[in-house]
Amino acid sequence: MGRPALRDRDGDVVRDRLLEAATALTIERGFDAAGIREIAERAGVSSAMIAYYFGSRRGLYEAMFERAIDSLSSNLEADLDGLPPGADPIETLIRTHTTAIAAEPWILQLIAREVLATDGSLREHFKTHAGPEPLGLVRRAITDAVDRGALRSDLDPVLTLFTLLSLTAFPYLIGPLLGDQLGIELDDAFRERLVDHNLALIARGLRAPEEETQ
């Protein structure tokens, strides 16, 4: 069967609509609950377009994941580049990462199921795509802040990276499971509460004492 006669620009639009539809359905009730036909219906195209643009359901999975990671990387880079010289990057890192996760909480469920499991289908894909981009960007920002004296001189940049990821990501991983028991809803108000709490929690632990900065 021949390939659909679409101009490049039209093809990009269709591909984006499929990704947006799949992401919306995943946020609503999980990726497994959204069928190929339903995703295509939501996007307003034929289900054959999923095979055409992504090859398979897994290809759509990977494309959704890559788009979320690329968006996080771009936002982190833009926010860090916008910091004044010598500024502490911790607030920016926490706020940007929390906002990204809150916008697409499905990505943590995907990582837990398809990446952390030893036989996860996206395990190798995650290692090659996520590691060099946002993780590397955050690690460099922390290392630079330690070198400049904005953060404590005795901090381990890699362990600090793990700490920040845990503080921002874990509530969105466990929230869908225990949120009702804990009386929380993962809405915009919770996102802001989490950001403010984490900033208060780490203010004394990570930032350099005044005597180090003088």
Q: What is the pLDDT of residues 100-153, one digit of tens each?
A: 889 888 888 878 877 887 777 778 777 777 766 778 888 888 998 888 888 888
Q: Are 39 and 22 a contacting pair, CB within 8 Å?
A: yes
Q: pLDDT for 7-34, tens place per residue? A: 445 668 999 999 999 888 877 777 677 7
> pLDDT-derived band of residue 193, with 50, 70 and 90 as boundaries?
very high
Rounded average pLDDT over 68-81: 85
Instruction: Tell the residue number behind the tokens 């990726």, with chain if given.
Output: 31
Q: What is the pLDDT of residue 67?
A: 86
Rounded average pLDDT over 35-41: 90
**b/e code 129-151 from CB counts within 10 Å (16+ = b):** bbeebbeebbeebbbebbeeebb
Q: What percent of the chain has pLDDT over 70?
A: 88
Q: What are phi and psi of 7, to 5 degrees?
A: -70, 155
Q: Is 151 helix (H, G, I), strand (E, B) or coil?
A: strand
Mean residue pLDDT of the chain comes to 83
Q: What is the pLDDT of residue 1?
A: 40
> pLDDT-derived band of residue 5, with 50, 70 and 90 as boundaries?
very low
Topology match between the domains 1-55 and 58-213? no
Q: What is the pLDDT of residue 19?
A: 92
Q: What are phi and psi of 184, to 5 degrees?
A: -125, 150
Greater pLDDT, 177 or 205: 177
Domain 58-213 fold: Tetracycline Repressor; domain 2 (1.10.357)
Class of domain 1-55: mainly alpha
- Name all contacts of 135-144 with Cβ < 8 Å and 24+ positions apart: 135/161, 137/73, 137/76, 137/77, 137/80, 138/76, 138/93, 138/97, 138/164, 141/80, 141/89, 141/93, 142/89, 142/93, 144/89
Q: Give the residue extent of every domain in the chain.
A: 1-55, 58-213
